[in-house]
Amino acid sequence: KPTLRLILGDQLNAQHRWFTEVDAATIYVLMEVRQETDYVLHHAQKILAIFAAMRELARQLRQLGHSVHYIAIDEVASTRSIPENIEALIRHYDACAFEYQAPDEWRLDQQLYQAGRRSTIPWLMVDSEHFYTARHEAADIFAGRKQWLMEFFYRQMRSTHQVLMEDAKKPVGGQWNFDHDNRKPWRGTPAEPQDPRTVHDHSPLWQSIVAAGVKSFGAPHADRLAWALNRDEALQQLDAFIERALPHFGDFQDAMSSKAWRLFHSLLSFALNVKMLNPREVVARAQAAYHAGHAPLAAVEGFIRQILGWREYVRGVYWAHMPGYAEKNFFGHTRPLPSWFWDGKTKMHCLSQAITQSLEQAHAHHIQRLMVIGNFALLAGLDPARVHGWYLGIYIDAFEWVELPNTVGMSQFADGGLLATKPYVSSAAYIDRMGDYCKGCHYDKKARVGERACPFNALYWDFFHRNADTLERNPRIGMAYRQLEKMDAATIAAFRQQAATMLARLDSL
Ligand code: FAD
Ligand code: SF4
């Protein structure tokens, strides 16, 4: 009797120990199912890229001699849930055991766990062999602490995994963090490296996704899908990043430009999150580039911090606070998303650039997500649960374990400051300093009130004013409150009036 082994759409790790031996009594199962296309409205490229990459892994496994049962989106079984399909396959093959890799989403983890309890054959969950840390490791590190400082966690990771360390104990270069060196705007030089990705035509697959009735948004670009769909392509992308972009990653990590959408970012988040790439190999390559003198320490440390630090840390936050984290709403914000979240049609140039790009590319870099879109959402008091739904749908790399803490915690401060030490908000000044969006914008970045005043300005002061009770005592935002104290009542009233007027017509901003 065979054993069935399930491979989820974000578990495309061809190097998993499961695949080291070909065993005729093992059947690998992959399924394109409506429960996964429909749990949130997804970007077209996200559905397409995940399915295309799943098909590619299935093809490779068959080529190696493994048995694969693949359920395609246009089969009847695609409308059943994952557990229903598993039960049907257990009956069909008269399987003696079922195995699956630990899911990264709470939703799937629960669903498979409950299904396993009902099953009459043994269910075994194995490690996905991807992350540095176990699900509960961050919670152990932070046991008893009120605030979870990423930097504390990151230093532990550096020591434990001996990354960028000297004599086992000291950080290379005598410093753990080079954040302060990494805040330069980009003025056109050095040139943005060429997009390193391979392009594929997946029009037939896209047609079957549409024909199956799957709803989506954003540009499918099915005839020129640019995301890595197998490990070889992901490795090529990693090579190109290390070679051309990593040396400048640090300097321009926080930069924004209407002329360069990816700047010096790696675009590796999709390949990492669907596990085509292992974070250890990405970190090792970056570290080797430093030791070979190819990239400066500030760039390499900045990049490694994102993967060894932030990525593992947010996963730990997720597992420690689920379920319930998705409902966090510290400020009690309830506004729906303005219509331009879905078409990019706003006169605010920074937002129209960041959102249009997200709709076109299914990607935006960190500062666009945090300091343009997220910044506005928080200042405008948008409902964090709806903001979460939007981020979870639109980005190619969005899986709840990583998207939710970034959106609800870091960007919307909806967890009340567990993850972020202060709300990430700014007026136009920051956006102007870090990019070129303000040039040519309909709004005046300097004006605070009036028809053409940049909405970020009044909303920024209104935000701090209305949340004084909860934020005033936070030492990291003392500056804002000291400035507010210096303002006279008439100035504050004018800001508040301006903010109220704009909030009443968000759709037309
Ligand atoms: P690079 O800038 O080249 O960084 C390298 C890698 O570091 C990334 O590929 C990613 O794996 C990791 N990384 C960087 N920042 C973070 C972070 N804050 N948290 C976790 N990993 C990080 N990242 C996702 O992978 N999925 C998401 O759904 C997601 N949602 C986000 C939502 C918001 C509101 C914010 C502010 C950030 C979000 N991020 C998310 C983090 C970050 O924006 C993306 O990882 C990054 O933009 C991916 O592009 P890149 O591969 O070019 O990254
Ligand atoms: Fe954005 Fe304001 Fe600058 Fe316009 S002026 S690009 S709205 S920050």
Mean pLDDT for the stretch of residues 351-363: 98
Question: What does the DSSP 8-state code read for residue 53?
Answer: H
Provide the percentage of residues in the chain whose pLDDT is more than 70.
100
Q: What is the Å distance from ligand 2's center to 66 Cα?
A: 55
Confidence of residue 479 (pLDDT cuts 50, 70, 90): confident
User: Whole-angstrom Cα distance, residue 172 to residue 210?
Assistant: 52
Residue 196 has pLDDT above 90, yes or no: no
Are the C-beta atoms of 480 and 492 separated by less than 8 Å?
Answer: no
Amino acid symbol at 352: S
pLDDT of residue 320: 95
User: Given this structure, which CATH class describes domain 3-126?
Assistant: alpha beta
The rounded Cα 138 to chain-centroid distance in angstroms is 19
User: Whole-angstrom Cα distance, residue 471 to residue 185?
Assistant: 29
pLDDT of residue 59: 98
User: Given this structure, which CATH class describes domain 339-508?
Assistant: mainly alpha
Question: For the CA atoms of 407, 408, 413, 415, what is the dihedral angle to 10 degrees?
Answer: -150
Residue with CA closest to ligand 1 atom 40: 403
By most ligand atoms within 8 Å of CB, the mutation choice from 432, 451, 508 for ligand 2 is 432
User: Whole-angstrom Cα distance, residue 160 to residue 88?
Assistant: 44
The structure tokens listed for 407 are: 């959106």
Q: What is the Å distance from ligand 2's center to 315 Cα?
A: 33
Residue 168 has pLDDT above 90, yes or no: no
Residue with CA closest to ligand 1 atom 10: 269
The 3-class SS string of 99-149 reads EEECCCCHHHHHHHHHHHHHCCCCEEEECCCCCCCCCCHHHHHCCCCCCCC
**Hey, where are the domains in the chain?**
3-126, 137-194+229-321, 339-508
Residue 378 has pLDDT above 90, yes or no: yes
Residue with CA closest to ligand 1 atom 2: 265
pLDDT of residue 146: 81
pLDDT of residue 292: 97
Tens digits of per-residue pLDDT, 230-254? 999 999 999 999 999 999 999 999 9
Q: What is the Å distance from ligand 1's center to 118 Cα?
A: 37
Are the C-beta atoms of 364 and 490 separated by less than 8 Å?
Answer: no
Mean pLDDT for the stretch of residues 258-268: 96
The structure tokens listed for 285 are: 């390559």
Mean pLDDT for the stretch of residues 328-332: 97
Mean pLDDT for the stretch of residues 21-34: 97
DSSP string of 448-480? -SSTTB-HHHHHHHHHHHHTHHHHTT-GGGHHH
DSSP string of 252-317? TTT---SS-SSTT----HHHHHTTSS-HHHHHHHHHHHHHTTSS-HHHHHHHHIIIIIIIHHHHHH
pLDDT of residue 181: 76
Q: What is the ipTM of this complex?
A: 0.99
Q: Is 485 left (phi over 0), alpha (psi -120 to 50) or beta?
A: alpha
| Phi and psi at residue 101, to the nearest 5° | -85, 145
Exposed e or buried b per residue across 403-418, where buried means at least 16 C-beta atoms within 10 angstroms of its C-beta: bbbbbbbbbbbbbebb
Residue with CA closest to ligand 1 atom 36: 370
pLDDT of residue 478: 85
pLDDT of residue 475: 84
Tell me the whole-structure pTM to 2 decimals: 0.97
Tens digits of per-residue pLDDT, 491-501? 999 999 999 99
Residue 354 has pLDDT above 90, yes or no: yes
Cα 419–Cα 357–Cα 238 angle in degrees, nearest 5: 70
Confidence of residue 310 (pLDDT cuts 50, 70, 90): very high
Question: What does the DSSP 8-state code read for residue 10?
Answer: T
Are the C-beta atoms of 299 and 249 separated by less than 8 Å?
Answer: yes
Question: What mean pLDDT, rounded, does the chain reach?
Answer: 96
Q: What is the Å distance from ligand 2's center to 508 Cα?
A: 15
Provide the β-strand partners of residue 99.
Answer: 5, 124
Tens digits of per-residue pLDDT, 106-145? 999 999 999 999 999 999 999 999 999 999 999 999 998 8
User: Whole-angstrom Cα distance, residue 272 to residue 259?
Assistant: 26
Around ligand 1, the residues with Cβ closer than 6 Å are 265-269, 272-273, 306-307, 310-311, 314, 365-366, 369-370, 374, 391, 395, 397-398, 402-403, 406-407, 410-411
pLDDT of residue 492: 95
Any idea which ligand is nearest the CA of 105?
A: 1
Provide the β-strand partners of residue 171.
Answer: 165
Provide the percentage of residues in the chain whose pLDDT is more than 90.
94
pLDDT of residue 144: 86
For the chain, how many residues are written? 509
The closest alpha carbon to 133, from 258, 10, 309, belongs to: 309
Question: What does the DSSP 8-state code read for residue 362?
Answer: S
Residue 99 has pLDDT above 80, yes or no: yes
DSSP string of 199-268? -B--HHHHHHHHHTT--EES---GGGB-S--SHHHHHHHHHHIIIIIHHHHTTTTT---SS-SSTT----
User: Whole-angstrom Cα distance, residue 60 to residue 79?
Assistant: 26
Are the C-beta atoms of 105 and 401 separated by less than 8 Å?
Answer: yes
Exposed e or buried b per residue across 159-172, where buried means at least 16 C-beta atoms within 10 angstroms of its C-beta: eeeebbeeeeeebb
Based on its alpha-carbon atoms, the radius of gyration of the chain, rounded to whole angstroms, reads 24
Tens digits of per-residue pLDDT, 40-69? 999 999 999 999 999 999 999 999 999 999
Sheet containing 97-101: order of strands: 67-71, 26-31, 3-6, 97-101, 123-126
User: Given this structure, which CATH class describes domain 137-194+229-321?
Assistant: mainly alpha
Are the C-beta atoms of 375 and 424 separated by less than 8 Å?
Answer: yes
Ligand 2 atom nearest 349 alpha carbon: 6
Report helix, strand or coil for 193. Answer: coil
User: Whole-angstrom Cα distance, residue 237 to residue 253?
Assistant: 18
Q: What is the Å distance from ligand 1's center to 311 Cα?
A: 8
Tens digits of per-residue pLDDT, 172-185? 999 999 888 778 99
Residue with CA closest to ligand 2 atom 7: 348
pLDDT of residue 115: 97
